[in-house]
A and B are shown apart, each in its own frame.
Chain A
Amino acid sequence: MTPHIVSTKIYVLVLAALLALTALTVAASFYDLGGGRLHYANAVTALTIAVSKATLVVLYFMHVRYSSHLTWVFVGAGVFWLLVLIGLTLSDVLTRGWLPSPGPWSS
Chain B
Amino acid sequence: MSTLATARPANYLSVDPGVMSWLLTKDHKRIGILYLVSISVFFLVGAVSAAVIRLSLFTPEGALLHGQAYNKMFSLHGISMIFFFLIPSIPAVLGNFLLPLMIGARDVAFPRLNLLSWYIFVLGGASTLIAATTGGVDTGWTFYTPFSSIYSNTNVTLTAVGVFITGFSSILTGLNFLVTIHKMRAPGLSWSRLPLFVWAHYATSLIMILGTPVVAITLLMVGLERGLGIGLFDPALGGDPILFQHLFWFYSHPAVYIMILPSMGVVSEVIACFSRKRIFGYEFVAGSSLAIAVIGFFVWGHHMFVSGQSVYAGLVFSLLSFLVAIPSGVKVFNWTATLYKGSVAYHAPMLYALGFIGLFTIGGLTGLFLATLGTDVHLTDTYFVVAHFHYIMVGGAITGFMGGLHFWWPKITGWLYPEGWSRAAALLLFVGFNLTFFPQFILGYNGMLRRTYTYPPEFQVLNVMSTAGASILAVGYLIPVIYLLWSLRYGQAAGPNPWGATGLEWTAPSPPPPGNFEKIPVVTEEAYAYSTMETRRA
Q: Do A and B bind each other?
A: yes
Residues on the B chain within 8 Å of A81, using CB: 210, 297
Which residue of the partner chain, among A77, A84, A91, A93, contacts B316 with CB atoms under 8 Å?
A91
Main secondary structure of the interface of A (DSSP, over half): helix
A91-B310 contact in complex given A78-B210, A85-B214, C-beta closer than 8 Å: yes
Q: Chain A, interface size: which category?
A: 10 to 19
A92-B298 contact in complex given A77-B210, A78-B210, C-beta closer than 8 Å: no
Q: Are B301 and A92 in contact (CB under 8 A)?
A: yes
A70-B210 contact in complex given A81-B297, A88-B313, A95-B312, C-beta closer than 8 Å: no
A92 vs B308: C-alpha distance when bound (angstroms): 9
Q: Are B182 and A88 in contact (CB under 8 A)?
A: no
A89-B246 contact in complex given A77-B210, A81-B297, C-beta closer than 8 Å: yes
A96-B210 contact in complex given A81-B297, A85-B250, C-beta closer than 8 Å: no
Instruction: Please tell me if A30 contacts chain B, counting CB pairs below 8 Å.
Output: no
Instruction: Please tell me if B242 contacts chain A, counting CB pairs below 8 Å.
Output: yes
Residues on the A chain within 8 Å of B24, using CB: none
A47-100 with Cβ < 8 A to chain B: 70, 77-78, 81, 84-85, 88-89, 91-96, 98-99
Which B-chain residue is minimally distant from A89 (CB atoms)?
B246
Q: How far is the CB of A72 from chain B (nearest CB, A)?
A: 14
A80 vs B298: C-alpha distance when bound (angstroms): 12
Q: How many residues of B contact A (CB 8 A)?
A: 23
Q: How far is the CB of B204 from chain A (nearest CB, A)?
A: 15
Q: How far is the CB of A50 from chain B (nearest CB, A)?
A: 15
Residues on the A chain within 8 Å of B316, using CB: 88, 91
Q: How far is the CB of A16 from chain B (nearest CB, A)?
A: 29
**Chain B 312-324: CB-based contact to A (< 8 A → 1; otherwise 0):** 1100110000000
Instruction: Using A84-B298, A93-B240, A95-B310 as known contacts, list a sample of 19 further A-B pairs with CB atoms less than 8 Å apart, ordered by residue number in A.
Output: A70-B182, A77-B206, A78-B210, A85-B247, A85-B250, A88-B298, A88-B316, A89-B246, A89-B247, A89-B250, A91-B310, A91-B316, A92-B242, A92-B304, A92-B310, A95-B313, A96-B310, A98-B312, A99-B311
Give chain B's interface residues, CB within 8 Å of chain A: 182, 206, 210, 214, 240, 242-243, 246-247, 250, 297-298, 300-301, 304, 308-313, 316-317
Give chain A's interface residues, CB within 8 Å of chain B: 70, 77-78, 81, 84-85, 88-89, 91-96, 98-99
